[in-house]
Chain A
Amino acid sequence: MTLTGEFFAFMSLALVAVIGGVLLLNLTKVVHMVVALVFTFVSIAGIYVLLSAEFLAVVQVMIYSGAITIMMLFGIMLTRHHGDEAEPKGGTLRRLFLLVGVLGFGAAVYFGIYDLDFEAVPNTLHENNTEQIGISLFSHYIIPFELTSVILLAALVGAIVLARRDDEKEGDQE
């Protein structure tokens, strides 16, 4: 591990990502939590650039930092949150057990990956990244690609049906 620009870029991006995640756990207002998570999403886009996945970085900024954050903000603003986010659910004992369990999981996985290393194979992922993704997507993965469009259509119709105001029921209540 030498001190190069890539190392500094990785360390700063990772630091911002982890700080965003920790702020998500510790802030009390819901909108602040979402804004903290935007930092994490943008840092992950930077990590993608370091991993020579430029197209995926742009997709990450567009979908996560753009679309999903805005949708979450709409979901927050359409519902009411009266300061009950401060105290988490369950008792202190339950949270302690959960913390120990999550840390145990993290330690177990870290034990498996801490000295993981593959021999460096030269690759050409950084050359014409978008073109490579397009060729792979439309030759090898054309059927999953079409199935994804079916999933998106089903999610669109399902979301509209679920969130639609039920007029007859509302009329009965009034």
Chain B
Amino acid sequence: MSSVPVSAYLALALILFCIGLYGALTKKNTVIVLISIELMLNAVNINLVTFSKYGANPSITGQVFALFSIAVAAAEVAVGLAILISLYRNRRSVNIDEVNQLKN
């Protein structure tokens, strides 16, 4: 069977998810926050594909779910960048700390 244990794939996905989480929480630039969220979605896709091959009940369903997840992520990036462009036109900045119109 496989020479790479299933926990190795899951650990790789966990490391990438933690990097994405830390980046999304600490970075100042809105573009980088969006990219970090993409990294987290990618880590989840790795988990889906891993369980579709090495899970208790292997089937093609995990790969189909990952495809749907990629499609929704692409739509999310399009809308996120449109919001970013609109925000930059109004505020002349992409600093995420200055996006606080709803705060008070």
Residues of A within 8 A of B (CB): 1-4, 6-7, 10, 14, 17-18, 21-22, 24-25, 30, 33-34, 37, 40-41, 44, 47-48, 50-53, 55-56, 59-60, 63-64, 67-68, 71-72, 74-76, 78-81, 84-85, 87-90, 95, 98-99, 102-103, 105-106, 109-110, 113-121, 123, 125, 129, 132-133, 136-137, 140-141, 144, 148, 151-152, 154-156, 158-160, 162-163, 165
Bound together, the chains give a CA A73 to CA B57 distance in angstroms of: 40
- Complex partner residue of A116 from B4, B7, B74, B76, CB under 8 angstroms: B7
Task: Known pairs A64-B42, A68-B74, A118-B6; list 8 more (Cβ under 8 Å).
Answer: A1-B4, A7-B4, A40-B42, A51-B52, A116-B10, A136-B64, A148-B68, A162-B82
| CB pairs A–B below 8 angstroms (29 shown) | A1-B3, A2-B3, A4-B3, A30-B29, A30-B32, A37-B35, A40-B16, A47-B46, A51-B9, A51-B49, A51-B54, A53-B49, A71-B81, A72-B81, A74-B81, A75-B34, A76-B31, A79-B84, A84-B95, A85-B27, A88-B26, A98-B22, A113-B14, A114-B7, A125-B60, A137-B64, A148-B68, A151-B71, A152-B74
Contact A152 B6 (CB under 8 A): no
Contact B56 A118 (CB under 8 A): yes
In whole Å, how far is A19's beta carbon from the nearest beta carbon of chain B?
Answer: 11
Contact A50 B4 (CB under 8 A): yes
Given that A18-B15, A59-B67, A64-B38 are contacting pairs, would A156 and B26 also be in contact in the complex, using a CB cutoff of 8 Å? no
In whole Å, how far is B82's beta carbon from the nearest beta carbon of chain A?
Answer: 4
Bound together, the chains give a CA A6 to CA B4 distance in angstroms of: 7
Secondary structure of the B contact surface, majority rule: helix
Residues of B within 8 A of A (CB): 1-12, 14-16, 18-23, 25-29, 31-32, 34-36, 38-39, 42, 45-46, 49-50, 52-61, 63-64, 66-68, 70-79, 81-86, 88-89, 92, 94-97
Residues from chain A with Cβ under 8 Å of B16 in the complex: 17-18, 21, 40, 44
Bound together, the chains give a CA A98 to CA B20 distance in angstroms of: 12
Contact B79 A162 (CB under 8 A): yes
